Chains A and B, each alone.
Chain A
């Protein structure tokens, strides 16, 4: 045996050693696996520690080890650690194999003897395999320094500015006519009560005027191809029917447009806009769009009033959608959230009882630039409410809707209580299940509200109704709630109810995830690579997620994630090139019969049929190493490096041999005369 293998069994403190007899296992490996090439077998307290790594490096040098096996935790945790240790000592990292005797053995097996046997079988398998492993060298591909950011809310804007300020080019794609996202709709922001527009619009302006940012609003990504460093992205820039170069944003068109439309997006259905519009005066960019579905000309064939009045001739009814193709190296998704549809809770009466409002409606109602000029009034447009109830957790923390906590609704409800009191002097009742205020200055804000005279009622609201039981309830909305602190059912008559609805994943989150090759959790939030240690990366290299598209969060957390994603992207760009999967597939030209079966099996179009040679060919930079093609090739001409048939079979045989060795030969029954 020319190979010299070192086997290292980790104690992981008592995590492994408490269940698996590690000393016995390493002694066994040194003896029983010597015939497979094992020349050294050790057990050590913490293999991943620097001392553990040095142990391997020293052995490699002193004993001329050619291959290394470590039996420890999951390779998802420490495979890179040990690969690097091997590389440092001159052993190709692909000549290292790791087997998992913690997550998949000591932590899941009760019987110590059984766990020890299982560890042996797993090590037998790893040693079997490592002999057949081959040195591989990684492929390096250059990183395109341009970046795509999808979603122009506060998260996307932050990320775009960070990257653009560092001198890199950013494409910021936003599906609405303007950037700004939900934050642009808000009146004040908790806990400081800064005016939302005052802190957001300067950032929007900077993003709109930055020399390194290309804004693509009223646009959506249609297709993404390629891989980290080299994505090709197809974007549909929908027709605005406005020539951007000519439009000055003077506003004559929307002033003159005769068609009024309820604005379901920016005004949350509470206000109107025209068929030609910008969502709000500080929109970026500030040129309007014509809403095709509602424009009288597009629907009835005559009108063109806007065109007549436009002083610069910017209106172009002939404009077509534009398809733009860009090349980028990295992508950040910052597509944000949708508001839970409160109609799904029929007992709260939203849509049926006029003066029940959603949280977003209230933001518009309270906003000085909103439909009522910031006057908090009932749907009749004039009556100022004398009493207001705010219902927390609508659609959140509820097994019927979303089990999760939306994280922001408590603070948002406290903010509303303050605004209502300040602007109307009304009595405010906050009906909550628990008050959750973890955040800098949040608890202090709650304490302040407690002092402002807001009534806090601990209990989940059962029903909101207009069926009065007595004179004092006449003409009111009655909030039926069990006050669990005094153990009493209460009926609170109020003029207005605000439902603090859950933040939920975008209705099209799944489709978007699929387009970018990432995954969603069961409630459709985008999944990060690691919830604690890698919160903005995803399992797809080069695609990052930030802000509320990853889960409910407030503005500070969203901005922090936007900046974090930008930092991750900049660090990749800074490397100039990136190492990609070395375990790729390769076609054997001698045996390939050119049947093209493999071509269609590849999920990445990484295999091309080279007609002139009559052979299939794997484009290494596109191959992700899944191995799907291998099984489709009848003449067995495709090999997936690092997962060859030979290696997998050797691993299997290694495990089988050890398992068989444990089988007690059944005693032959002796015939007793």
Chain B
């Protein structure tokens, strides 16, 4: 068993607070996801996600407020548009797009946060390490 390395980009207002809420309720989830706080999920440009994979992350998560609840009113509309395009781009470059998770978690949804983290960690654990798949790509 390997320990997948996952980076989670969380918006400051909903999802990061959702993670805090999970903590306050002492919900347990695997430690693999390292959270990076950004003002809004709209700040996450595709380049940042690609760069993270390039550094060897096995999975990347982008979590923001539910549509309609973005602290910056429509910042996450961009996220909702950008991320599916990015997923296609990942597939195109030979990266399984399931390695990128996009989800909406509100500040109150501690339980959802813990579930989302648990499920994504399990999903990534079931895949081979990202570095290995890339090696396979190269040798093909």
Known: A628-B72, A631-B78. A655 touches B27 (CB 8 A): no
Q: How far is the CA of A81 from the CA of B65 in the complex (A)?
A: 26
When C-beta atoms are compared, the residue in chain B nearest to A77 turns out to be: B20
Residues of chain A with a CB closer than 8 A to B37's CB: 75
**Residue from B16, B31, B48 whose CB has the most chain A CB atoms within 10 Å:** B31
Q: Which of B1-17 contact A (CB under 8 A)?
A: 2-3, 5, 7, 13, 16-17
Chain A positions within 8 Å of B69 at CB level? 519
Let me know if A174 is at the binding interface, CB within 8 A: no
Contact between A659 and B78 (Cβ–Cβ < 8 Å)? no
Closest residue of A by beta carbon distance from B51? A649
Residues 1-43 of chain B: 1 if any A CB is under 8 Å from the residue's CB, otherwise 0? 0110101000001001101101110111101001111111011
Chain B residue nearest in CB terms to A114 = B31
Say whether A125 contacts B34, CB under 8 Å: yes
Judged by a CB distance under 8 angstroms, whether A444 is at the interface is: no
Whether A603 and B75, one on each chain, are in contact in the complex, defined by CB atoms closer than 8 angstroms, is yes
Given contacts A108-B26, A108-B29, A660-B5, contact A643 B48 (CB under 8 A): no
A652–B36 contact, CB under 8 A? Answer: yes
Of B26, B36, B73, the most chain A CB neighbours within 10 A belong to B36
Number of interface residues of B (CB under 8 A): 47
- Shortest distance between the CB of A433 and any CB in chain B (Å): 26
Q: Are B39 and A103 in contact (CB under 8 A)?
A: no
Q: Is B47 an interface residue (CB 8 A)?
A: yes
Q: Is the CB of B34 within 8 A of A627?
A: no
Within 8 A of B (CB), among A612-666: 624-628, 630-632, 640, 643, 645, 648-649, 651-653, 655-656, 659-660, 662-663
Query: Any chain B CB within 8 A of the CB of A115?
Result: yes
Within 8 A of B (CB), among A116-166: 117-118, 121-122, 125
Q: Which residue of A lies closest to B58 (CB)?
A: A659
In contact, B5 and A659 (Cβ under 8 angstroms) = yes
> Which residue of A is nearest B74, CB measured?
A603
Taking a contact as CB atoms under 8 Å apart, the answer to whether B75 and A628 are in contact is yes
Complex Cα gap A662–B43 (Å) = 30
A122-B34 in contact (CB<8A) = yes
Contacts of A630 in B (CB 8 A): 43, 45
Tell me, yes or no, whether A297 is within 8 Å of chain B by CB.
no
Q: Is the interface of A mostly helix, strand, loop or mixed?
A: helix
Set A102, A643, A645, A655: member contacting B23, Cβ < 8 A: A102
In the complex, what distance in Å separates the CA atom of A123 from the CA atom of B39?
A: 20
| Complex: chain A residue closest to B37, CB-CB | A75
How long is the Cα–Cα vector from A406 to B81 in the complex, in angstroms?
41
Cβ-closest chain B residue relative to A624: B72
Residues of B within 8 A of A603 (CB): 70, 72-75
With A108-B114, A517-B73, A630-B45 as contacts: A601 and B36 at CB distance below 8 Å = no
Instruction: State which of A74, A519, A662, A663 has its C-beta within 8 Å of the C-beta of B20.
Output: A74
Contact B75 A656 (CB under 8 A): no
Q: Is B100 an interface residue (CB 8 A)?
A: no
B28 touches A110 (CB 8 A): yes
Question: Are the C-beta atoms of A108 and B56 separated by less than 8 Å?
Answer: no
Q: Mark A64-92, 1 if CB is under 8 A from B, else 0.
A: 00000000001110000000000000000
The yes or no answer to A566 lying at the interface (CB within 8 A) is no
Q: For B57, list chain A residues within 8 Å (CB).
A: 652, 656
Chain B residues, Cβ within 8 Å of A539: 13, 71
Please determine whether A108 and B78 come into contact, CB atoms closer than 8 angstroms: no
Is A652 within 8 A of B55, CB to CB? yes
Bound Cα distance A659, B2 (Å) = 12
Q: How far is the CB of B12 from chain A (nearest CB, A)?
A: 8
Bound form: Cα–Cα A632–B45 in Å:
8
- Interface status of B133 (Cβ within 8 A of chain A): no
Most chain B C-beta atoms within 10 Å of own C-beta, residue among A100, A111, A519, A645: A519
Q: Is the CB of A121 within 8 A of B40?
A: no
- Give A514-533 as 1s and 0s: 1 = Cβ < 8 Å from B's Cβ atoms: 00010101000000000000
Give Cα A517–Cα B72 distance, bound, in whole angstroms: 8
A643 to B35, CA, bound (A): 14
Q: In the complex the two chains form, is A109's CB within 8 Å of B28's CB?
A: yes
Q: Which residue of A lies closest to B24 (CB)?
A: A103
Contacts of A480 in B (CB 8 A): none
How does the 8 Å CB contact mask read for B81-107 relative to A, with 1 for contact and 0 for none?
Answer: 010000000000000000000000000
The 6 closest A-B pairs by CB, nearest first: A103-B23, A627-B43, A631-B45, A628-B42, A626-B72, A107-B23
What residues make up the interface of A, taking CB atoms closer than 8 Å to B?
74-76, 100, 102-105, 107-111, 114-115, 117-118, 121-122, 125, 517, 519, 521, 539, 583, 601, 603-604, 624-628, 630-632, 640, 643, 645, 648-649, 651-653, 655-656, 659-660, 662-663
Listed A/B pairs (30) with beta-carbon separation below 8 Å: A76-B16, A76-B17, A76-B20, A103-B24, A104-B20, A104-B23, A105-B31, A115-B31, A125-B34, A125-B36, A517-B73, A519-B69, A603-B70, A603-B74, A624-B72, A625-B39, A626-B75, A627-B38, A627-B42, A628-B43, A628-B74, A631-B42, A632-B78, A649-B51, A652-B36, A652-B48, A656-B55, A656-B57, A659-B5, A663-B2
Given contacts A76-B16, A628-B43, A632-B78, 12 further A-B contacts (CB under 8 A): A100-B20, A103-B24, A104-B20, A108-B22, A125-B34, A604-B72, A626-B72, A626-B75, A643-B43, A652-B7, A652-B51, A655-B36
List the interface of chain B (C-beta within 8 A of A).
2-3, 5, 7, 13, 16-17, 19-20, 22-24, 26-29, 31, 34-40, 42-48, 51-52, 55-57, 69-75, 78, 82, 108, 114
